[in-house]
């Protein structure tokens, strides 16, 4: 087997000590090894970046038919794309040939399976303009199908203009940015008649984003670290269902406001002291997705799968819905399975008229008959008599044994019994406690030594953005190969793909919301809003450990 330490050197991160005036790392520090190794690394990264950015727009459907699903699972992979790493599976550190889960779908931990629903990545080339004198609003750029030719460039999304992968790689002060591209409505005529909605899903845009479609205001979002969705359906309808629609995004990211949460990003154009290069604009995945009008909500919108009751062996499920009309009757059903063995079903649970969610306990214990159906290799790796792996028939999640249950959530129309929406997700049964009075943190009731490292999540050529769809997987594999069982994500809200792989590979993740340099009432309000949004997005991951509300002030002099 290749020495994992030599592999680790290829993706060495800027894990600096919090000294007041650190030396900016030289290339030899960032890319240890020979000049030939450095050149090979850079060439491979450039090729991977190009592959990630080469997104072809979906062709306009003919005769009202929807385009082929952009996320059809690659051949040889199961429909649910569970991607578990179990006994006997390849755990090679070389992830270059590993396909991205669900063909790169940005939220592989929570995806829909119904036919007729489609998504399309908007990663790739966009028109891009710096608006340094901030005249774009007064000149109505958002009403135009083309941004001004003067100063217009092409940027590769989701990379920020400050990094090389964006194709711009500029470090000047630019507070106002404009993005624009053409999009198509992914819905078929049947989907439109059914009332399906077309959503714009933004993983993260730093810092304040305002969005228009065909010159019509769609919405805005403040906060550079957390996701948001906007419904484009009404703007498309009011525009007359045009074949091509102009999507325009204006971003404002202050270069002077030191109460804006930014983590280790420096507010000036170039890094100084303990701070890194700023990241302005779109820096996480952005896509279009067709969803049912009435649909199952994800964690960001109210669904909570609390899986820490390992003694009772139940998941406290709170399944929320979105898009429900007044007094609309619907019900929810959740089914659990483990390695393909059915475990339990909640049966249909009716939502009452006053709440857009339903709550119930979902049993996760396997019977003796269920246990007998499990793969022998699994039980050899996680013996039933090991209390760290099993608790009275309930499989336990840990970094050593990342056991995941597959969950299918169905939403029904209670009037006719039809399935409205179906979502696939996972959960892991695990408890984390620190209240035993002996100073120990316990994982699944046992004192657990956390071999963590401080992970700042910056990449040499892409800054905050992972360079490839499987880079997060490789990061975790390398970390585990040298003996770590988790990390502390420092001053960064990491991408959903990281938590997806942390769940499956077994990796504890301490999280931190990015702090501001100075505190103020405005700064506290900004921080709290994003901190809560961060926790909602990630709370259903068994890999998610403590999420401290405040790290510290980033001003080393205060």
Which residues partner with 210 through β-bridges? 220, 250
pLDDT, tens only, 200-258: 999 999 999 999 999 999 999 999 999 999 999 999 999 999 999 999 999 999 998 88
Which token pair is 373? Answer: 């159906």
CB atoms within 10 A of CB 157: 25
- Cβ atoms 386, 395 nearer than 8 A: no
pLDDT, tens only, 409-467: 999 999 999 999 999 999 999 999 998 889 899 999 999 999 999 998 989 899 999 99
Peptide bond between residue 508 and the one before it cis (omega within 30 degrees of 0): no
- Cβ atoms 360, 322 nearer than 8 A: no
- The domains of the chain, with CATH numbers, are 115-293 (2.60.120.260), 294-432 (2.60.40.10)
Which token pair is 101? Answer: 């889960």
pLDDT, tens only, 13-61: 333 333 333 333 333 333 233 444 434 434 444 443 343 333 333 333 3
Which residues partner with 31 through β-bridges? none
- Angle at CA of residue 148, ends 168 and 279, nearest 5°: 30
For residue 124, which of 157, 86, 88 has the smallest C-alpha distance?
Answer: 157
Phi, psi for 220 (deg, rounded to 5): -150, 165
- Angle at CA of residue 375, ends 370 and 381, nearest 5°: 110
- Tens-digit pLDDT profile for the chain (558 aa)? 444 444 333 433 333 333 333 333 333 333 233 444 434 434 444 443 343 333 333 333 333 333 222 222 222 222 222 233 233 333 333 333 456 666 678 888 999 987 777 899 999 999 999 999 999 999 999 999 999 999 999 999 999 999 999 999 998 899 999 999 999 999 999 999 999 999 999 999 999 999 999 999 999 999 999 999 999 999 999 999 999 999 999 999 999 888 888 888 888 777 888 888 889 999 999 999 999 999 999 999 999 999 999 999 999 999 999 999 999 999 999 999 999 999 999 999 999 999 999 999 999 999 999 999 999 999 999 999 999 999 999 999 999 999 999 999 999 999 999 999 999 999 999 999 998 889 899 999 999 999 999 998 989 899 999 998 889 999 999 999 999 999 999 889 999 999 999 999 999 999 888 888 887 888 889 989 999 999 999 999 999 988 777 665 544 434
Q: Is the dihedral of CA 162, 164, 168, 171 positive or negative?
A: positive
- Measure the CA–CA gap between 220 and 226, rounded to whole angstroms: 13
List C-alpha distances in Å: 308 to 313, 382, 427, 504, 540: 9, 19, 10, 17, 11
- Measure the CA–CA gap between 257 and 145, rounded to whole angstroms: 32
């Amino acid at each position: 087997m290749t020495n994992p330490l030599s592999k680790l050197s290829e993706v060495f991160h800027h894990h600096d000590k919090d000294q007041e005036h650190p030396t900016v790392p030289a290339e030899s520090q960032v890319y240890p090894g020979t000049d030939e190794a450095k050149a090979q690394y850079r060439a491979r990264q450039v090729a991977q970046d190009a592959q990630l950015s080469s997104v072809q727009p979906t062709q306009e459907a003919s005769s009202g038919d929807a385009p082929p699903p952009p996320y059809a699972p690659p051949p040889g992979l199961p429909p649910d794309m569970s991607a578990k790493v179990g006994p006997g599976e390849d755990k090679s550190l070389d992830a270059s040939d590993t396909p991205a889960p669900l063909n790169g779908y940005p939220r592989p931990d929570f995806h829909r399976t119904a036919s007729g629903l489609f998504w399309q990545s908007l990663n790739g080339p966009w028109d891009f303009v710096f608006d340094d004198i901030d005249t774009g609003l007064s000149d109505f750029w958002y009403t135009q199908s083309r941004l001004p030719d003067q100063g217009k460039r092409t940027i590769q999304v989701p990379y920020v203009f400050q990094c090389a992968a964006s194709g711009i790689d500029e470090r000047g002060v630019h507070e106002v940015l404009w993005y624009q591209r053409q999009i198509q409505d992914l819905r078929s005529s049947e989907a439109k008649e059914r009332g399906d909605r077309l959503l714009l899903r933004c993983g993260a845009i730093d810092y304040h984003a305002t969005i228009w479609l065909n010159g019509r205001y769609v919405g805005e979002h403040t906060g550079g670290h957390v996701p948001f969705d906007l419904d484009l359906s009404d703007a498309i309808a009011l525009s007359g269902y045009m074949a091509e629609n102009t999507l325009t995004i204006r971003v404002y990211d202050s270069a002077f406001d030191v109460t804006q949460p930014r983590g280790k990003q420096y507010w000036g154009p170039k890094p100084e002291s303990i701070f890194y290069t700023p990241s302005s604009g779109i820096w996480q995945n952005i896509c279009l997705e067709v969803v049912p009008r009435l649909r199952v909500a994800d964690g960001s919108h109210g669904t909570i799968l609390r899986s820490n009751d390992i003694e009772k062996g139940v998941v406290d499920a709170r399944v929320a819905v979105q898009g429900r009309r007044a007094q609309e009757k619907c019900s929810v059903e959740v089914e659990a399975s483990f390695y393909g063995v059915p475990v339990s079903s909640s049966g249909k649970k009716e939502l009452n008229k006053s709440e857009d969610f339903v709550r119930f306990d979902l049993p996760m214990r396997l019977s003796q008959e269920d246990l007998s159906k499990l793969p022998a290799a699994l039980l050899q790796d996680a013996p039933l008599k090991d209390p760290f792996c099993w608790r009275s028939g309930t499989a336990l999640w840990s970094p050593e044994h990342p056991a995941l249950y597959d969950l299918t959530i169905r939403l029904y129309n209670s009037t006719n019994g039809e399935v409205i929406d179906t979502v696939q997700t996972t959960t892991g049964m695990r408890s984390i406690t620190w209240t035993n009075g002996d100073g120990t943190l316990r994982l699944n009731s046992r004192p657990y030594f956390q071999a963590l490292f401080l992970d700042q999540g910056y990449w040499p050529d892409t800054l905050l953005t992972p360079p490839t769809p499987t880079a997060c997987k490789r990061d975790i594999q390398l970390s585990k190969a040298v003996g770590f069982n988790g990390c502390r994500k420092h001053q960064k809200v990491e991408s959903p793909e990281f938590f997806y792989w942390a769940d499956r590979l077994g990796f504890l993740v301490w999280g931190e919301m990015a702090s501001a340099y100075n505190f103020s009432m405005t700064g506290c309000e900004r921080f709290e809003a994003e901190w809560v949004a961060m926790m909602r997005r990630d709370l259903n991951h068994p890999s998610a450990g403590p999420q401290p509300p405040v790290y510290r002030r980033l001003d080393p002099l205060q």
